[in-house]
Amino acid sequence: MFGACKNGRCARVRVGEKVKPVVIAIDGPAGAGKSSIAKALARRLGFFLLDTGAIYRCVALFARQKNIDWNDGPGLATLAARLPIRFGQGQGDEDGDVFLAEQVVTTDIRSQDISLGASVVSAHEEVRRELLELQRQLSRTGPCVVEGRDIGTVVLPHAPLKFFLTASPEVRAKRRQKELEARGLTADAETILREQEERDRRDATRAVAPLKRAEDALLIDTSEQSFEEVLNQLEHIAKTRFQPSP
């Protein structure tokens, strides 16, 4: 482990004349492997994991529970401003659970329906504005790996290390199918690919914070690499980049 917080003080990395928090930003489209890689990388480095996608998924689920339409920007923003989300440490779950008030929603927010809802919800400027400072505050609580779709470009544009993970559409769709089937859910490959293409289009063309690679993000194509190969590559780069502050 390196870069962990001690006595309430967190590690920093010196970049030029500035000292910045130790933050690793991981962006990319659905199915590129960023969620799994982010979790594993955080565990290896002893960093806090901030899954910003889970926040938007919770907004979509919360809206569904409150009968708020996903196209109702103002209504969603009001919900986002009082979103009762928290991330548990999860004694029985090494990655921790996601809570919406007292309800464990770790599995609920990963359904195909809520995944699509999160994409619709995240396109609203009012919602992104309400959640932006929350994400930034959480990133300052300690050395962390932050995963999402606009981390390196909007949420944390000054993060000292950024990765953009991608893969071919077919590979991403196949991964999503296996993920759903592992949960005992019905998964049709053609439907997944079609919905993925629609989500990619929406995420890349939305007016607010579109999905795109930051200029200083390292591009990692995971199409033909194993999980361990990608993880080892990112871990090596991170340990090379972040040297303990004197």
Looking at the domain assignment, is residue 15 inside a domain? no
- If you write DSSP's letter for every residue of 193-220 in order, what string do you get? HHHHHHHHHHHHH-SSS-----TTPEEE
Going by their DSSP bridges, the two strands 98-100 and 85-87 should be labelled as: antiparallel
Reduced to 3 states (helix: H, G, I; strand: E, B; else coil), residue 107 is coil
Taking the C-alpha atoms of residue 69 and residue 63, their distance in angstroms, rounded to an integer, is 7
Give me the number of domains the chain comprises. Answer: 1
Q: What is the DSSP letter of 109?
A: G
- The first and second tokens of residue 73, run together, are 């920007």
Reduced to 3 states (helix: H, G, I; strand: E, B; else coil), residue 164 is strand
Looking at the domain assignment, is residue 214 inside a domain? yes
Q: Does residue 61 contact residue 114 with C-beta atoms inside 8 Å?
A: yes
Q: Does residue 32 contact residue 126 with C-beta atoms inside 8 Å?
A: no
Taking the C-alpha atoms of residue 205 and residue 200, their distance in angstroms, rounded to an integer, is 8
Looking at the domain assignment, is residue 246 inside a domain? no
Q: pLDDT truncated to tens, each residue of the chain (246 aa)?
A: 344 433 333 444 444 445 467 899 999 998 898 988 998 999 899 888 888 889 999 999 999 999 999 999 999 999 999 999 887 654 444 456 889 998 999 889 988 899 899 989 998 999 999 999 889 988 887 889 999 888 999 999 999 999 999 999 999 999 888 888 888 877 888 899 998 898 888 888 888 788 899 999 999 999 999 999 999 999 999 999 886 554
Q: Does residue 194 contact residue 169 with C-beta atoms inside 8 Å?
A: no
Looking at the domain assignment, is residue 8 inside a domain? no
Q: What is the pTM of this model?
A: 0.75
Looking at the domain assignment, is residue 133 inside a domain? yes
Looking at the domain assignment, is residue 1 inside a domain? no
Contacts with 218 (C-beta within 8 Å, 6 or more apart), sequence order: 162, 163, 164, 237
- 3-state SS, one letter per residue, for 17-77: CEEEECEEEEECCCCCCHHHHHHHHHHHHCCEEEEHHHHHHHHHHHHHHCCCCCCCHHHHH
Looking at the domain assignment, is residue 77 inside a domain? yes
Q: How does pLDDT run across 5-26, given as a tens digit for each residue?
A: 333 334 444 444 454 678 999 9
Domain with 45, as residue range(s), is 23-223
Cα within 13 Å of Cα(127), Cβ side: 27
Looking at the domain assignment, is residue 155 inside a domain? yes
Question: Domain containing 34 — which CATH number?
Answer: 3.40.50.300
